[in-house]
Amino acid sequence: MAEAKPILKRSDIDDKYKWKLEHLFETDEKWDEVFSDITKEVEAMDKFEGTLGKSADDLYECLSKNDKVCLVLDKLYVYSNMRLHQDSTNSFYQSQSNKAEMLLVKYMGKTAYIIPEIVDIPEEKLAFFMEEKEELKVYSHFLDNITRKNAHVLSPKEEALLAKTGEIANTAEDIFAMINDADIKFPEIRNEDGEMVPLTKGRYTLYMESEDREVRKAAFEALYDTYIKQKNTLAATYYSSVKKDVFYAQVRNYNSSLEAALDDDKIPVSVYETLVNSVHKYLPLMHRYVKIRKKILGVDELHMYDLYTPLVENADISINYEDAKAKILEALAPMGEDYIAALKEGFDGGWIDVYENEGKRGGAYSWGTYPGHPYVLLNQADNINSMFTIAHEMGHALHSYYTWKKMPYVYAGHKIFVAEVASTCNEALLMEYMLKTTTDKKARKYLINYFLEQFKGTFFRQTMFAEFEKLTHEAVENGEPLTCEGMCKMYHDLNRKYFGEDIVIDERIDMEWARIPHFYNAFYVYQYATGYTAAIALSRQILSEGKEAVDRYIDFLSKGNSEYSIDLLKGAGVDMTSVDPFEKAMAVFSDLLDKMEEEI
């Protein structure tokens, strides 16, 4: 295991490793000025109420003005939250973030009439508007996505009331974030050298990769014992979040909260179910992997804290940030010169916040706001996992980069269903490159295992998360309360199902659900699994077909959300409504298992 460095204060980190948020606002005073100006614009957004069905001009004026206001609100919200994420203990940015969120809630109330009024426009009249005013045609897909959900749109008065619940609806997620990012404190543990060292969320993965089993066990127990101390609060917080999801689904006349979540992007519920059923079909492969891991580690009992340590003794897995960037550039060369130039611009242009510091949000993400450049938050740990995280998040970033170059603001975003394809395709290409260029037998064995781990973590584990979400939401929909004990049993049983009989399902892992931030964005994580599946297919098309596949892929990146995700992926070359992508992904996983068994 690489030696853990002391956690630095943000002021101690070199500026070249910090993102440049001044590209959004030069100063906080400028943010205040823009906030004041846009507040007046938000207050005036209800002036269009009652006019949208009168004429094409009225409809266009409202939609175009709405885009301009949203663009500024996005910028305010993104800036204030990224400032907060770089140091969640900063009270100034806590306040600024709250101001931005309250303004967004106000905006939602002031514009709650827009969708109901569009829904009330007769189909023939709306078609006439589109023909009459050329400028309206840019909103064709946007309008179709509204009118197709007519049965789920309420009256203007009801929509306005629901909009006012927005701030309350975010309470569970906000409380969890404060517990998880700011308040929770982990104890020290003893490292390989017998020294007492601090445990953080950022360092937890590092410790779990340690070759010293006692270090892994100590980190595992210390982390989960800390969450267990908060178990009732965390259970109540998550239960509140699920009740919110069920409430919104029911008032909008959906059959389930799952259907409501997927309908936003017109994803059939059958896609979710096909994923879960496909994983269940191939769980014997996952159990086979666990058995291989137990054999290689040579332990009488395999525990949950044994799942992440490298299977190759003394494998050199350390790679610093600069070397990781260089390897990523080489690995993604098949994407073409334009893609590589954009990647270099991101690496050198102040897009990335690299290292962990006191108070910084854990994990990694890509964010930003149209029409500027995207940003990436990292917590670099100088290992292979961190290198793949860089490639992953830059996949998200370049997805935004290409979309923002081509699409108007109304289509500048990405549905998560396709967003995870862009990020994971980068990872798949990087893995193919590493396997081809690594000649050391021990290192190759490590990489084969790492690829297997990606399947385990992204395909199987995220689907287990997705199944947990489905079970918890169904329980609440059936009138059953969610208790800490009940969710822990549910989670324990899922671990047993997914990992099989060759591993001890340690009691502490039953609390893992309590530390997953994505659970506060319901039915999000399944898209990691579907995205991974699509990315495996696309990466192989890029490597085998060359320019033709790259052109399709860049076109896919450039379309934003101007089409439904299922159609976007079909255009790129993958049909996610069929079982075929899942079958092909599992064929790759099975082949990797064969290779690993040959190595041992």
Q: Mind listing the pLDDT tens digit for each residue in 398-439?
A: 999 999 999 999 999 999 889 889 998 999 999 999 989 988
The position carrying tokens 């990797």 is: 592
Whether residue 166 has pLDDT greater than 90 = no
Length of the chain: 600
Predicted confidence (pLDDT) per residue in 476-505, tens digit: 999 999 999 999 999 999 999 999 999 999
The model carries a pTM of: 0.80
What are the Cα distances from residue 411, in Å, to 183, 375, 406, 528?
A: 37, 19, 10, 22
What are the Cα distances from residue 114, in Å, to 129, 228, 479?
A: 16, 45, 34
Q: For residue 1, name the pLDDT band (cuts at 50, 70, 90).
A: very low
Phi, psi of 445 (to 5 degrees): -60, -40
pLDDT of residue 181: 87
Dump the DSSP string for 293-305: HHHHHT-SS-BGG
pLDDT of residue 561: 96
Predicted confidence (pLDDT) per residue in 12-70, tens digit: 999 999 999 999 999 999 999 999 999 999 999 999 999 999 999 999 999 999 999 99
Strand 365-368: give its sheet, edge to edge. Answer: 352-353, 374-377, 365-368
What are the Cα distances from residue 322, in Å, to 76, 336, 373, 420?
A: 32, 21, 21, 25
User: Residue 377's beta-bridge partner residues?
Assistant: 353, 365
Percent of the chain at pLDDT exceeding 70: 98
* H or E segment and range at residue 202: helix 201-208
pLDDT of residue 314: 59
Distance CA 174, CA 84 (A): 13
In this structure, the strands spanning 374-377 and 352-353 are parallel
Q: For residue 3, name the pLDDT band (cuts at 50, 70, 90).
A: low
Q: For residue 2, name the pLDDT band (cuts at 50, 70, 90).
A: very low
Query: Mean pLDDT across the chain, nearest whole number?
Result: 94
Distance CA 309, CA 454 (A): 13
Whether residue 273 has pLDDT greater than 80 = yes
- Please state the rounded mean pLDDT for residues 384-411: 96
Distance CA 141, CA 206 (A): 45
HEC letters along 221-260: HHHHHHHHCCHHHHHHHHHHHHHHHHHHHHHCCCCCHHHH
In this structure, the strands spanning 196-198 and 188-190 are antiparallel
User: Contact 557/444 with Cβ under 8 angstroms?
Assistant: no
Which of these, 298, 402, 261, lies nearest to 342 by C-alpha position?
402
* H or E segment and range at residue 375: strand 374-377
Distance CA 278, CA 286 (A): 12
Least confidently predicted of 72-86, 147-161, 289-303, 375-389? 147-161
Q: How does DSSP classify residue 484?
A: H
Q: How does DSSP classify residue 376?
A: E
**Residues 13, 15, 21, 26: what is their CA dihedral angle, to the nearest 10 degrees?**
120
User: Contact 227/515 with Cβ under 8 angstroms?
Assistant: yes
Predicted confidence (pLDDT) per residue in 171-226, tens digit: 999 999 999 988 999 999 999 999 999 999 889 988 998 999 999 999 999 999 99
* Residue 598 is a catalytic residue: no
Q: For residue 352, name the pLDDT band (cuts at 50, 70, 90).
A: very high
Other Cβ atoms less than 10 A from the Cβ of 547: the count is: 10
Quote the Cα angle for 235-239-244, to 5°: 155
Whether residue 4 has pLDDT greater than 80 = no
Greatest C-alpha distance within the chain: 76
Whether residue 96 has pLDDT greater than 90 = yes
Whether residue 384 has pLDDT greater than 60 = yes
Percent of the chain at pLDDT exceeding 90: 83
Query: Which residue among the candidates 173, 209, 356, 393 is catalytic per the annotation?
Result: 393
pLDDT of residue 151: 86
Q: Which token pair is 329?
A: 């550039």
